[in-house]
Amino acid sequence: MKEMQKRCNRPPLSLLLVCLCLSVSFIVVVPGDPIVAHVGSTVIVPCWTSPPENAEALEIRWYRHDQFNNPVLLYNHGKIQDIQECFRNRSSLALRSDQSGGLKDGDVSLRLEKLTFQDAD
């Protein structure tokens, strides 16, 4: 199978964090460079809070730019609540690096497996 590559100049996915504790103040950090990957490969879309804040009690909503109510992945109440049909069995929350402390340290990165051209739309 010939490997194909597609570059996306706009972020196809967005992240919304809803904090249940209003006294906490943080920013959401995402690298500015586009992610380039081969069809069929796996990528991690890195994202974290700064300063590091325990995200286990937050609502984490990864969604496409125009589909807020139909999230790619929705984490709430300590577990993944919903995954969009076309991303089932190939999306999850992941560590952005081996040194990451995961949700407890504010790492809310998204792992996408078996990439398709449609993932960049």
Per-residue pLDDT of the chain (121 residues; tens, 9 = 90+): 333 333 333 345 555 555 444 456 888 888 888 888 899 999 999 999 999 989 998 889 998 888 888 899 999 989 999 999 999 999 999 999 988 999 999 999 999 999 998 887 6
Of 5, 58, 69, nearest to 28 by C-alpha is 58
Specify the CATH number of the domain 1-7+26-120.
2.60.40.10
pTM of the model: 0.79
Contact 71, 82 (CB under 8 A): yes
Angstrom distance (rounded) from CA 111 to CA 42: 7
Amino acid at position 43, single letter = V
Angstrom distance (rounded) from CA 19 to CA 83: 20
CB atoms within 10 A of CB 116: 14
Residue that is written with structure tokens 């739309």 in the block: 121
Q: What's the token pair of residue 72?
A: 């790619």
Q: What's the token pair of residue 85?
A: 């049909």
Q: Where are the domains of the chain?
A: 1-7+26-120
Angstrom distance (rounded) from CA 3 to CA 52: 37
